[in-house]
Structure 1
Amino acid sequence: MITEELIDRMAEKCLLNDADFDAVVLQHGSKRIQTVNLHHLALAARSDDFARTIDRADFITADGWPIVSLMRSRGIDPARVTGSEFLERMLAGRQFQGTKAAILGADRHAGYDFRGQLHGSGLHVVFRDHGNRGDWKPKRVAKKLEKYGVDLLIVAVTPPFGDMIGEEVRKAGFRGVVVNVGGAVNMVTGNATMAPGWVRAAKVEWLYRLVQEPSRLFRRYIVECLPVFVKYVLPHYWRRSRT
């Protein structure tokens, strides 16, 4: 269930830009960063368990202009901060040099490609599990991550399961950083279609994806997300635009 208190707490722990995101990751230590988009809110509206998963994240980011607008209604002005752009920065630079990372989820080919593309970055993928998510036991996963000395766990599974398993692994004793990125590993490696830059700049990425996969995304975007947008985001957007 979405409450005003939940939105307030999201604003309190919202990372304002990419630099803030990277700084939190580089600090290491036990924490979880959850990117939040309109689909997350739609899931939270239907599931108290998932709403609590958002609430338990140490940090959140505004992934998409609806969440940016919602956060602005709480007096902060975040940039759009996405999991896919975080991974692109990992591939492009060396700011994460020396970090030991693990990937939970994503396609096997995407995970292999991602590890190879990181070759020049100084970040090392030391553990990957692309198997059946039903076999993932949080305590067992946490022990494997400890064995390999993992600093950063990239959970590349779509919500709600990806965010919830990331929280469970953290609760099971993983002492590194957990970042939930959904399908971003598949996207940045070219194993799934990423919206062009001009589409993202125009804030119509959802429409681009809907055209690409109408049978899969119509229910998510129109049936599930649109009512949440109208109920929770639009009133704040209108109120702000009139002031």
Structure 2
Amino acid sequence: MITEELIDRMADKCILNDDDFDAAVLDLRPKRIQTVNLHHLALASRSEDFAKTIEKADYITADGWPIVSLMRSRGIDPARVTGSEFIERMLAGRRFHGKKAAILGADRHVGYDFRGQLHDSGLHVVFREHGNRGDWKPKPLAKKLQKYGVDLLIVAVTPPFGDMIGEEVRRAGFTGVVINVGGAVNMATGNATMAPGWVRATKIEWFYRLAQEPRRLFRRYFVECLPVFLRVVLPSYLHRNRH
């Protein structure tokens, strides 16, 4: 359920910009960072367990202008901070040089390509788990991550399962950084299309993605997300503008 308490907790944990995101990852103390968009709220509206997963994250980011607007209604002014752009920065620079990473999720061939890209940026992939996610067990995964000395676990699984397994692995004893990036790894490897910069800047990325995958996304946007936008985001936006 989406409650006022949940939104307040999100605001308390919201990362304000890309630099803060990178700093939180490089800090390497145990934590989980979850990007949150309107689809996450739609899922949370139907699942109390998933709402609790969002609440348990150490940090969240406002991935999309509806979440940015919702956070502004709570008195903070975050930039739009996305997992896909974090992956882009990771691959483009050397800030994570020497760190040990693990990939959980994505198809095997995608994980292989992504491992090569990370290696070029100086980040060593020491563990990968693809396969059938129904076979993943949090405790064995956490033990393997600890055994290989993983600093950063990149969870490349769409919500709600990706965020929930990331939280379970952390609770099972993994002491690195967990970051849930959903489909960002597919975008980074060219297995999914990222919207051009001008599309993102004009806040119509959702329309671009709908045009790319209308059959898959029509229900998500108009049946699942639109009611949450009208019930949760729009009233906060209108109330903020009136005051």
TM-score, L = length of structure 1:
0.98
Question: When the two structures are aligned, how many residues end up with a matched partner?
Answer: 243
Note the alpha carbon deviations across 1:112-158, whole angstroms, 9 max, x for none.
Answer: 11111123321111111111100100001101101111000000000
- In 1, the alpha carbon distance for the partners of 2:107 and 2:239 equals 43
SS at match of 1:119: helix
For 1:71, the equivalent position in structure 2 comes to 71
Question: What amino acid is the match of 2:71?
Answer: M
The CA distance in 1 between the partners of 2:49 and 2:196, in whole Å, is 34
Give the aligned partner of residue 185 of structure 1.
185
The 5 Å alignment of 1:54-69 reads 54-69=54-69
2:221 is the alignment partner of 1:221: yes
Match of 2:174 in 1: 174
Q: Is the 8 A contact 2:111 2:128 kept in 1?
A: yes
Q: Is the 8 Å Cα contact of residues 104 and 153 (structure 2) preserved in structure 1?
A: yes
One-letter identity of the residue aligned with 1:65: W
Counterpart in the other structure of 2:132: 132
Tell me, in whole angstroms, the C-alpha distance in 2 between the residues paired with 1:200 and 1:237: 20
Q: For 2:154, what is the secondary structure of its paired residue? A: strand
5+ residue gaps, structure 1: none
Structure 1 runs of 4+ with >3 Å offset: none
Residues 68-116 of structure 1 deviation map (CA, whole Å, 9 limit, x = unaligned): 0000000000000000011001100011111100000012222111111
Share of identical aligned residues, percent? 83
Please give the per-residue CA displacement for 1:171-209, whole angstroms capped at 9, x wherever unaligned.
Answer: 000000000000100001101111111111111111111
Q: Deviations over 1:45-73 (max 9, x none)?
A: 00000000000000000000000000000
Q: Is the 8 A contact 2:91 2:117 kept in 1?
A: yes
The aligned counterpart of 1:102 is: 102
Alignment match, 1:38: 38
Give the Cα separation in 1 of the matches to 2:94 and 2:180: 21
Alignment of 1:91 onto 2:91: yes
Task: Name the aligned partner's letter for residue 97 of structure 2.
Answer: Q
The secondary structure found in structure 2 opposite 1:118 is helix
Rounded to whole Å, the distance in 2 between the matches of 1:200 and 1:113 is 25
Mapped to 1, the partners of 2:15 and 2:200 lie a distance apart of 20
Aligned to 2:212: 212
After the TM superposition, which of the residue ranges 118-127 and 49-58 deviates more from structure 2? Answer: 118-127
Aligned counterparts of 2:114 and 2:25: Cα–Cα separation in 1: 18
SS of structure 2 residue aligned to 1:174: coil
Aligned position for 1:151:
151
Aligned to 1:78, the other structure's residue is in SS state coil
AA aligned opposite 2:84: S
2:161 is matched with 161
- For the aligned residue pairs, the C-alpha RMSD in angstroms reads 0.9
Q: Which amino acid aligns with 1:31?
A: K
Give the structure 2 partner of residue 120 of structure 1. Answer: 120
